[in-house]
Amino acid sequence: MTTPLETVRNIGPAMADALRLAGVGSAEALVAMGADAAYLRLLNHGARPHFIAYYAMVMGLQGRPWNDAKGAEKAALRVRFDRLKADASPTTDTAFERLLDEIGVRPAR
């Protein structure tokens, strides 16, 4: 049995839906991969980078309120977030565009 993502503190329905679309299907999976890997997966699946969403996830996995990071801790999280943005290689194609590629309608890139 798996635990819903929404049981993790600070993970609401919209974030849970985005995580599921990115292949993170349970609270156990999120905990196992950690905030950085999960957020990178979101970015690689086309999510727009948003610092508050990132650090809310980090805080939630620590059982803390979303806005608990302050001072040096928040600055360090910003450095991690910027690194994740730089490392991301998002897939921006929609499912329809990928289907067009599969059947050879669009030119190869």
Number of residues in the chain:
109
Taking the C-alpha atoms of residue 85 and residue 8, their distance in angstroms, rounded to an integer, is: 23
On whether the CB atoms of residues 57 and 34 are closer than 8 A, the answer is: no
Fold of 5-102: DNA polymerase; domain 1 (1.10.150)
**pLDDT, averaged across the chain:** 91
The whole-model pTM stands at: 0.81
Read off the pLDDT of residues 26-72 as tens digits, 9 standing for 90 and up.
999 999 999 999 999 999 988 999 999 999 999 999 999 999 999 99
Taking the C-alpha atoms of residue 94 and residue 81, their distance in angstroms, rounded to an integer, is: 25
Taking the C-alpha atoms of residue 56 and residue 77, their distance in angstroms, rounded to an integer, is: 10
